[in-house]
Structure 1
């Protein structure tokens, strides 16, 4: 799975880079690309195809969460997931979902992400990515099977 993670907080990017390196060494099928700004993400989206884009809502070059998602959604047919500490993340994601955006309906509170588990168990990071790809009703069917 090829994932673009847009994250402006450098310590978080560092932990994700370590987790991606551990995943590669463990032969977990994750290709993680990190971008610190929306402009860098758009540059990568013009050059590469991604299965999943995970983004913060407010970035140094995009303070409006709705606009951040709109710009990413207009760059291709990839799945978008929100990992943010932004207070309005639920309403922003709900609006994007109602507008037909291919977005995970449940945003993730960034501070609760298990970065250390991603490093210790690279398959946990891949599981997290797959969870962001599935719709809630699909997750229930998978859990029941």
Structure 2
């Protein structure tokens, strides 16, 4: 699975890089690309295809969470997941869902992510990524009344 993780906090990026390295050594099929800013993420999205994009809502070059999601969602057919401590993350995700965005319906509270478990058990990180993907099965459409 190819994942772009947009994270502006360097210590978190360092832990994710260590976890990705451990996954590669354990031959867990994760290709993790880290981006510190939205501009860097957009550059990567123009050049590569990703299955999943995990993002913060406020980044050094994008303070509006709705705009951050819109810019990422419009750059491909990847799934988007929100990992943030932003207080309005639930509202922003529900708005994106109503707009038809391919976004995980439950945002992740970044402070509760098990970074150490990702490092100790690389398959746990892969399971986490798969948990952010849409459930298999027929797509349901919500008709407007």
TM-score when normalising by structure 1: 0.93
Partner of 2:141: none
Q: Give a deviation string over 1:61-100, Cα, whole Å, max 9, x none.
A: 0000000000001100100000000000000000000100
Q: Return closer, same or farther for 1:81/1:23 CA change in 2, 3 Å cut-off.
A: same
Structure 1: runs of 5+ lacking an equivalent: 139-145
Partner of 1:119: 119
Aligned length: 138
Give, in whole Å, the separation in 2 of the partners of 1:81 and 1:61.
19
Does 2:30 align with 1:12?
A: no
Give, in whole Å, the separation in 2 of the partners of 1:135 and 1:49.
20
Q: Return closer, same or farther for 1:137/1:116 CA change in 2, 3 Å cut-off.
A: farther
User: How far 1:135 moved relative to its partner?
Assistant: 3.9
TM-score when normalising by structure 2: 0.93
Give, in whole Å, the separation in 2 of the partners of 1:125 and 1:97.
25
RMSD, aligned CA:
1.4
User: How far 1:17 moved relative to its partner?
Assistant: 0.1
Whichever structure has more helix as a proportion of its residues is 1
Does 2:94 align with 1:94?
A: yes
Give, in whole Å, the separation in 2 of the partners of 1:136 and 1:75.
23
User: How far 1:137 moved relative to its partner?
Assistant: 8.8
